[in-house]
């Protein structure tokens, strides 16, 4: 196999493979960036902060609504 392939042909094939790998890695990087943006939007909506839940966001709103409903059910 290698006897019939010149060094120049091998180099061209390696360059082609490296370009394909670079394209795949670039696509994966874009995918990861989109995931990071989605996660950031979800965390913001939930009101998550690095140290835990904040007083804003969907979870905080849900907790307040649950507390209001519980108060309304008490006699």
- pLDDT for residue 53: 64
The label of the residue with tokens 């890695």 reads: 25
Q: Is 2 a domain residue?
A: no
| Six-digit token string for 35 | 């995931």
Using a cut of 0.75, tell me whether the model's pTM lies above it. Answer: no
User: Domain of 44?
Assistant: 7-73
Q: Is the pLDDT of residue 2 over 70?
A: no
- pLDDT for residue 27: 93
Number of domains in the chain: 1
Element (H, E) at 49: strand 48-49
Q: Is 15 a domain residue?
A: yes
Q: Is 28 a domain residue?
A: yes
Q: Is 1 a domain residue?
A: no
Q: Is 55 a domain residue?
A: yes
What does the pLDDT look like over 13-72, one tens digit per residue? 999 999 999 999 999 999 999 999 998 888 888 877 766 666 677 877 888 888 888 888
């Amino acid at each position: 196999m290698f006897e019939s392939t010149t060094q120049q042909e091998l180099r061209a094939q390696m360059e082609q493979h490296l370009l394909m790998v670079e394209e795949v890695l670039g696509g994966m990087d874009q995918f990861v960036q989109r995931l990071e943006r989605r996660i950031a939007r979800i965390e913001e909506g939930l009101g998550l902060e690095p140290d835990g839940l904040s007083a804003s966001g969907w979870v905080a709103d849900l907790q307040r609504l649950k507390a209001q409903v519980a108060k309304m059910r008490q006699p």
